[in-house]
Amino acid sequence: MSEIPRILTETRGPVLVITLNRPEARNAFDAASAQALEAAVDRLDEEDGLFIGVITGAGGHFSAGADLKAAARGERAATKRGGFGMFARPPRKPVIAAVEGYAVGGGFELCLSCDLIVAARTAQFGLPEVRHNVVAVGGGLFRLPRRMPYHLVMELALTGAFHGADYFHRLGVVNRVVETGEALEAAVAWAEALLVNGPTALAATKEIIRRSGDWTDEAAWSAQMAYARPALESEDRKEGLAAFAEKRRPVWKGR
């Protein structure tokens, strides 16, 4: 009998829906899961016809983080893109996390590797690594302090406590809160709403915002152009200007 795929992908027009598919383990990541997510992320980046990604989890949960049993066997849930196949090198195109149930440990850090977060009201987030004498090295300890107050990050990380979607929405970490069971469709609908915008400009805008924390204002004027130029010289830019002049909806190609 063939092994069940760790990651499922589905195209909804230019939107790639990526589903973490280990529901029996609350979508915890082992080495095979990381490799499969990396392949899906590579596909999102490489295919011109894919503009936005949505990551969700099967079985009512996003991800419980690393598979500790696999880790105890010596497996590393990491690839050339970093932990879980994405932490260190997220895709250049925008990605929305659609969260139901638990997004804890590396599952929370996977959300923080995305650009937008839609969460069910009953979703739970946290960094419980310290409970197992593990350190959260998937980006949460330096990404969260850039997005919420220092003392609240310390409380979260040092206690290992979980908090709900409303808590993180108030702090600006979660973008939108929806009813239980509606996170995926809400995320896909948001992705489709973004498709009125030029895809190469979306990717360039994401990259400039993501990298700008490392730039001084003086350096940023020139540094941003390395990411803006492909969009400004693309077929889509010509199409966008032509569509505006002709008062019609643009037909984007992603190149």
CB atoms within 10 A of CB 82: 18
Q: Is residue 109 flagged as an active site residue?
A: yes
**Rounded to an integer, what distance in angstroms lies between the CA atom of residue 64 and that of residue 71?**
14
**DSSP-based three-state secondary structure for 116:** strand
**DSSP-based three-state secondary structure for 33:** helix
Neighbouring C-alpha atoms within 13 Å toward the C-beta of 70: 16
Nearest to 106 by CA among 159, 156, 68, 54: 68
Catalytically annotated residue among 46, 109, 155, 239: 109
Catalytically annotated residue among 10, 129, 192, 207: 129
Angle at the Cα of 247 from the Cα atoms of 242 and 250, rounded to 5 degrees: 55
Which spans in 16-149 are helix H?
31-46, 68-72, 106-113, 140-143
**Rounded to an integer, what distance in angstroms lies between the CA atom of residue 184 and that of residue 75?**
30
Q: Is residue 246 flagged as an active site residue?
A: no
**Radius of gyration of the chain, Cα coordinates, nearest whole angstrom:** 19
Active site residues: 109, 129
